[in-house]
Amino acid sequence: MSCDYQGNFLESDEFYATLLHFLSILQAPMHIFGIYIILKKTPKSMEKVKFPILLLHLITAWCDFFISILSTPVFLFPATAGYVMGIMDYILPTWLFCYIGFVSISLIGPSLTLLFENRYNFLVRKDSECQSRKVKRILHISLNIIFAFLIVYPPFQNHSAVPDFREILHQEFPCLPEKIVRHPRLYFMIASTSTAFICLSFDLLLPTIQVFFFFFSTTFHLYRNSKSRSSKTTKLQNQFFRAMCIQVCLPFTVIVVPGFYFVYIFATGYLNLAFNNLTVILVTSHGAFSTIVMLIVHQPYRIATLQILKIRKIETPTFASTTHYISC
């Protein structure tokens, strides 16, 4: 275990809470606008992918709101400890809403998996409309959601079994000041970091494997069948799939990079509160990046946004013709 605490502004609760609240003020209108665009401006040609896009948007919006306002958590990783400054601390037990927060972030994985599985199902599978296939898809996404709830629970199962956690924290990370070690809202999840490391690794690994499988399977299918389809159909399918990948990949780096950073610090035992705070702030900005990219890369959403903002005036017939850039 190693510890680096300088007592600077980046490590202060004031900086951390203020920036998170400021981000929530900026992101709330964007999330609401994104929900409106998906519900009201999704063309019929995108109807089959409407629910996965909406689900991903709602989960990321909820995560941003939960972290910024409801919990405002200060993580002392790699020590499985921390404290909160949000309003939920007065409503639920600390361990319970910490668990809710981890589940919320973990659910991003199943939502991403569903998005790519949706394209794989309607573009690759020939039995996409069969009843048995629909049952298998429901079972698949249900198992992913159950996994998201279960994989983050082990660090919380002994939430009341470590009475001397403050002494343990001070011994393992002596650089932490007394105001943190004796913080009245300090919460200790488990005595060992190995459980958290294993859970976080599997939580990242399983959705990543599935997303890569559906991505490469769909990409290979589109490339292999490009000659057997009309050039227009191929172009439209490739255009939408490429736009969807951009929608996911650019904001996804905002989640993956912090995720691997947390895996790294759990593996090495290195604690830096300033880096921890900046990493959580980066994760919280994921929703804004995701919404902006979604509105830009999908042509119907981009056109609708420009019309609403009165930046560009487009005739209705032209808009209708551009909505057929996806073939489900």
Strands 2-4 and 270-272: parallel
95 neighbors 187 (Cβ within 8 angstroms):
yes
What does the alpha-carbon distance between residue 202 and residue 209 come to, in Å, rounded to a whole number? 10
Fold for the domain defined by 2-322: Rhopdopsin 7-helix transmembrane proteins (1.20.1070)
* Closest to 284 (Cα-Cα) out of 88, 70, 76, 92: 70
Prior bond of 317 cis (ω within 30°): no
- The domain locations on the chain are 2-322
Q: Count of H helices and E strands in the chain?
A: 13, 5
The whole-number pLDDT of residue 160 equals: 57
The whole-number pLDDT of residue 325 equals: 43
Q: What are phi and psi of 229, to 5 degrees?
A: -110, 165
pLDDT tens sequence for the chain (328 residues)? 788 888 899 999 999 999 999 999 999 999 999 999 999 999 998 899 999 999 999 999 999 999 999 999 998 988 888 888 988 878 888 888 888 989 998 999 999 999 999 999 988 998 888 999 999 999 999 999 999 999 999 888 766 556 678 888 888 899 999 999 988 888 887 656 678 788 888 998 999 999 999 999 999 988 887 666 666 766 777 888 888 888 888 767 777 788 888 888 988 889 999 999 999 998 888 888 889 999 999 999 999 999 998 875 544 443 333 334 444 4
